[in-house]
Amino acid sequence: MFGEKPMDIPTKITPCPIVEAIVELRFETDLPDEAVFGVIYSSFRNETGKTEKLPILQLPEAIRSTDPNLIYKPHYRLRTGEYTVQIGPKVFSFANIKQYVGWDTFSTEIGSRFQKLFDLGIIKSIGRFGLRYINLFSDMNIYEKSTLKIHLGESNQYGNQINLTMAMPMGGFLSKLVMVNNAEVKLQLREGTVKGSLIDIDVALEKTISIKKVKEIVEQAHNEEKKLFFSLLDPDFLETLNPEY
């Protein structure tokens, strides 16, 4: 299992491969679906530069509210600077979508947005928390730089296109890893796609969560994400990334 052996975890690597960092809460509320956005927007409208309706709103409300694949999708996106807020009837997410600002700054911004949300008093319960980091490495085959060993008989398969998905219980969370060595990724603020090797980690807690515990859970999830990410990198490759401890 990744992360079992104690290891020194860098606080920073350069160049930073993080292209998006997203934190999400899925919740229940007594408000009607159509009222949720207006109430939340009233607390966030002063910090948004652009408000977008997302394509899901083109579907009939009866489908959006009953299809299990759609009920936790956001309906609106608010953009400002390097951040976005996404809002749906049962979901709230906050993302760093430009150059990564670093965990100290990002975690402070997360806390600020979550506090605004909680202060509204509309959340009855939280049913899922997720923290996701999308890392992109250009011009390399990440499997050749990783600790993963993928062989068929005596032959490694790194030269083939590999799209690996794993779900692993770690530190009380469920960590989902997606690792692709020839990916095309669509990012929120870029036209077209960017190409490279992808490490996509989503650390989730899928159970009822106390609002009072959310700040602690954010930090724990970030620690689990970092342990998994750095356990994937070959030590010699990590040294080329100018790690700071």
Model confidence over 166-200: pLDDT tens digits?
999 999 999 999 999 988 877 665 566 778 899 99
Query: Would residue 6 count as lying in a domain?
Result: no
Query: Would residue 63 count as lying in a domain?
Result: yes
Model confidence over 66-85: pLDDT tens digits?
999 999 999 999 998 889 99
| 3-class SS of residue 150 | coil
Domain extent, residue 172, equals 18-239
What is the structure's pLDDT at 139? 83
Query: Would residue 96 count as lying in a domain?
Result: yes
Query: Would residue 245 count as lying in a domain?
Result: no
190: Cβ contacts below 8 Å, ≥ 6 apart: none
Cα gap 84→230, rounded to integer Å: 26
Query: Would residue 29 count as lying in a domain?
Result: yes
Cα gap 115→117, rounded to integer Å: 5
Query: Would residue 11 count as lying in a domain?
Result: no
How long is the chain? 245
Report the run of H or E that residue 113 belongs to, with start and end.
Answer: helix 103-119
What is the structure's pLDDT at 196? 87
Cα gap 233→203, rounded to integer Å: 18
Structural contact between residues 170 and 219, judged by C-beta atoms closer than 8 angstroms: no
Dmax over Cα atoms in the chain, in whole Å?
A: 61
Cα gap 220→123, rounded to integer Å: 22
Query: Would residue 160 count as lying in a domain?
Result: yes
- Assess whether pLDDT exceeds 90 at residue 7: no
Model confidence over 100-125: pLDDT tens digits?
999 999 999 999 999 999 999 999 99
Choose among 224, 7, 23, 13: nearest CA to 135: 13
Query: Would residue 175 count as lying in a domain?
Result: yes
Percentage of the chain modeled with pLDDT above 90: 76
The total number of structural domains in the chain stands at 1
- Residue whose tokens read 């899925």: 26
